[in-house]
């Protein structure tokens, strides 16, 4: 046999696995310490009432001969795809249900979408970035260029720095920085991609954190995006599905390469390699879009946003430069030292965790990411611990 040698070019552990391993080792050595986790963006509130009711009802369906379901459509049940199309319609984006593909989450689709593209493409990835974009392209052996997101461009790199990209990754609200592109800024990217015949992979996993702000939640709010973009979204952060697993990807009919529709290629890929998301999970996801589901999930987002505000307030009090936290669940703070050293120091001295910026890319060095997805009690306690640490060690 011959292995895929590209795997040898990866760091030997995925960022969040490395962080989790370090935390487990610390806890094992210090069983008396109460560690507060603000590293991986995992939700802490339970599924909302509307979702749980739908799950129970769907389990009941599966227990009766008349309503039992076996294999479902690989691209998702109509009831869920239509509910998703309805959600987009509310922000003025007209999609047909057959442009929407339901999956077990955005992470899988972001990686799997690369099946549609030749190895010989120039990939453009912001730095810092959600490590899945980088690692999946390293696995495939593609050429990657990085485009820096830094204080100088308000963490929102623009196409004038893009060079000659064929596949472009954008994430807004951004993981890890929390920065959000405006309509005008996204329009520049759409024009750039259409001008070059490039494709944009738009990660909208954090769209529900935009709230009432006049900022885009979907790239398809931008005229022209239907001929150059694919959008990935997820119920993980919007509705607490990190353990339930459901997401969706939009591949518009108008997105073509020559005569070939990418939407048809994706359908072909999914029908061959994927057997769909469980019926009960799709019923649960459908409930997110009911009036009760929308009300309850918004309430949960507001809860996390209170954490974001508290973290931002604490950063200001401590004189720490940061971005994010207001229209995103992440706070990207300057840590003023090697970010893995900061991780160790914060874990050991305050028993608080976060994610070292260097794990998101070279330009993330000197930064540290905190998540707002904790409980309000734990977040408040973590902020008190950081303040106490600053009092005894002003260099912190
Ligand atoms: C993160 O912490 O960046 C995310 O939770 C990871 C993910 O969504 O896979």
Among candidate residues 40, 38, 20, 39, the one with its CA nearest the CA of residue 28: 20
Query: What percentage of residues in the chain have a pLDDT greater than 90?
Result: 94
Does residue 127 surpass a pLDDT of 90?
yes
What band does 384 get if pLDDT is binned at 50, 70 and 90? very high
Q: What CATH number is attached to the domain comprising 31?
A: 3.90.1150.10
How buried is 175 (Cβ within 10 angstroms: 0-12 exposed, 13-18 middle, 19+ buried)?
Answer: buried
d(C-alpha 74, C-alpha 272), whole Å: 9
DSSP symbols for 174-224: -TTT-----HHHHHHHHHHHHHHT-EEEEE-TTGGGGTTSSS-SSGGGSTT
Question: Domain end: 289, 314, 340, which one?
Answer: 289
Contact assessment for residue 225 and residue 94, using Cβ atoms and an 8 Å cutoff: no
d(C-alpha 99, C-alpha 94), whole Å: 10
User: Residues 201, 91: one domain?
Assistant: yes
CA of 236, closest atom in ligand 1: 8
Nearest CA to ligand 1 atom 4: 41
Whole-number Å distance, alpha carbon 237 to ligand 1 midpoint, is 9
User: Residues 134, 186: one domain?
Assistant: yes
23 beta partners: none
Q: What CATH number is attached to the domain comprising 249?
A: 3.40.640.10
Q: Is the preceding peptide bond at 173 cis, omega within 30 degrees of 0? A: yes
Does residue 161 surpass a pLDDT of 90?
no
CA of 42, closest atom in ligand 1: 5
CA of 176, closest atom in ligand 1: 3
Among candidate residues 300, 386, 311, the one with its CA nearest the CA of residue 342: 386
Tokens 């593209």 locate to 117
User: Residues 61, 41: one domain?
Assistant: no
Q: Say how many domains are in the chain.
A: 2
User: Residues 39, 53: one domain?
Assistant: no
Ligand 1: residue of 38, 109, 130 to mutate (most ligand atoms within 8 A of CB) is: 130
- Residues spanned by the domain of 191: 49-289
Mean residue pLDDT of the chain comes to: 96
Does residue 83 surpass a pLDDT of 90?
yes
User: Residues 198, 336: one domain?
Assistant: no
User: Residues 157, 201: one domain?
Assistant: yes
Does residue 175 surpass a pLDDT of 90?
yes
Cα Rg of the chain, angstroms: 21
Ligand 1: residue of 14, 108, 131, 175 to mutate (most ligand atoms within 8 A of CB) is: 175
What band does 134 get if pLDDT is binned at 50, 70 and 90? very high
Does residue 236 surpass a pLDDT of 80?
yes
User: Residues 25, 157: one domain?
Assistant: no
- Provide the token pair at 232: 């990935």
Structure confidence by residue, pLDDT tens digits, 253-308: 999 999 999 999 999 999 999 999 999 999 999 999 999 999 999 999 999 999 99
Ligand 1: residue of 14, 15, 16 to mutate (most ligand atoms within 8 A of CB) is: 16
User: Residues 191, 140: one domain?
Assistant: yes
| DSSP H stretches of helix in 91-225 | 106-112, 131-140, 183-196
What per-residue confidence (pLDDT) applies to 394? Answer: 78
Question: Domain end: 289, 318, 344, which one?
Answer: 289
Among candidate residues 238, 235, 233, the one with its CA nearest the CA of residue 249: 233
Does residue 396 surpass a pLDDT of 90?
no
- Provide the token pair at 166: 């064929």
What per-residue confidence (pLDDT) applies to 339? Answer: 97
d(C-alpha 366, C-alpha 389), whole Å: 19
Question: Domain end: 289, 318, 343, which one?
Answer: 289
What per-residue confidence (pLDDT) applies to 149? Answer: 96
Query: What percentage of residues in the chain have a pLDDT greater than 70?
Result: 100
What band does 392 get if pLDDT is binned at 50, 70 and 90? confident
Tokens 């309509």 locate to 183
Helix or strand (DSSP H, E) at 282: helix 279-288
- E strands present in 75-197: 100-103, 122-127, 143-148, 167-171
With a CB cutoff of 8 Å and minimum separation 6, the contacts of 254 are 226, 227
In this structure, the residues whose C-beta lies within 6 A of any atom of ligand 1 are 40-41, 107, 130, 175
Nearest CA to ligand 1 atom 1: 41
User: Residues 115, 204: one domain?
Assistant: yes
User: Residues 62, 211: one domain?
Assistant: yes
- Provide the token pair at 169: 């990754």
d(C-alpha 111, C-alpha 116), whole Å: 11
Structure confidence by residue, pLDDT tens digits, 7-62: 999 987 889 999 999 999 999 999 999 999 999 999 999 999 999 999 999 999 99
d(C-alpha 228, C-alpha 220), whole Å: 10
What per-residue confidence (pLDDT) applies to 393? Answer: 84
Round to the nearest angstrom and report the end-to-end CA distance of the chain: 51
User: Residues 266, 350: one domain?
Assistant: no
Q: What's the full length of the chain, in residues?
A: 396
User: Residues 30, 111: one domain?
Assistant: no
356 beta partners: 368
Structure confidence by residue, pLDDT tens digits, 300-350: 999 999 999 999 999 999 999 999 988 889 999 999 999 999 999 999 999
Contact assessment for residue 323 and residue 177, using Cβ atoms and an 8 Å cutoff: yes
Number of Cβ within 10 Å of residue 237's Cβ equals: 26
The whole-number average pLDDT for the span 385-392 is 92
Does residue 395 surpass a pLDDT of 80?
no
Structure confidence by residue, pLDDT tens digits, 212-226: 779 999 999 999 999
125 beta partners: 146
Does residue 183 surpass a pLDDT of 90?
yes
């Amino acid at each position: 046999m011959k292995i895929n040698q590209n795997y040898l070019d990866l760091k030997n552990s995925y960022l969040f696995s490395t962080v989790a391993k370090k935390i487990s080792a610390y806890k094992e050595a210090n069983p008396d310490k109460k560690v507060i986790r603000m590293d991986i963006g995992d939700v802490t509130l339970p599924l909302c009432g509307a979702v749980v009711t739908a799950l129970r009802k769907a389990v009941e369906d599966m227990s009766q001969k008349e309503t039992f379901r076996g294999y479902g459509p690989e691209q998702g049940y109509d009831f869920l795809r239509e509910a998703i199309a309805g959600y987009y319609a509310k922000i003025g984006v007209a999609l047909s249900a057959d442009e929407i593909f339901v999956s077990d989450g955005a992470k899988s689709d972001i990686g799997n979408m690369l099946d549609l593209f030749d190895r010989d493409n120039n990939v453009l990835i912001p730095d810092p970035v959600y490590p899945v974009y980088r690692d999946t392209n390293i696995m495939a052996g593609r050429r990657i260029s990085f485009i820096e997101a830094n204080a100088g461009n308000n963490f929102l790199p623009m196409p004038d720095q893009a060079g000659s990209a064929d596949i472009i990754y954008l994430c807004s609200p951004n993981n890890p920085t929390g920065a959000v592109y405006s309509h005008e800024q996204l329009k520049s990217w759409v024009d750039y991609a259409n001008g070059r015949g490039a494709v944009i992979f738009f990660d909208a996993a954090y769209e529900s954190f935009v709230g009432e702000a006049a900022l885009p939640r979907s790239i398809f709010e931008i005229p022209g995006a239907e001929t150059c973009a694919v959008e990935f979204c997820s119920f993980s952060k919007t509705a607490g599905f990190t353990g339930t697993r459901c997401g969706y990807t939009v591949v518009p009919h108008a997105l073509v390469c020559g005569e070939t529709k990418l939407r048809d290629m994706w359908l072909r890929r999914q029908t061959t390699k994927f057997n769909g998301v469980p019926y009960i999970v799709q019923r649960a996801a459908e409930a997110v879009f009911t009036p009760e589901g929308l009300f309850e999930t918004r309430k949960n987002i507001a809860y996390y946003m209170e954490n974001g505000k508290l973290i931002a307030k604490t950063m200001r009090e401590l004189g720490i430069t940061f971005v994010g936290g207001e229209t995103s669940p992440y706070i990207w703070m300057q840590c003023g030292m090697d970010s893995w050293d900061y991780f160790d120091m914060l874990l050991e001295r305050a028993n608080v965790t976060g994610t070292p910026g260097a794990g998101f890319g070279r330009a993330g060095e000197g930064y540290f990411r905190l998540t707002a997805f904790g409980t309000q009690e734990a977040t408040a306690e973590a902020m008190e611990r950081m303040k106490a640490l600053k009092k005894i060690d002003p260099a912190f």
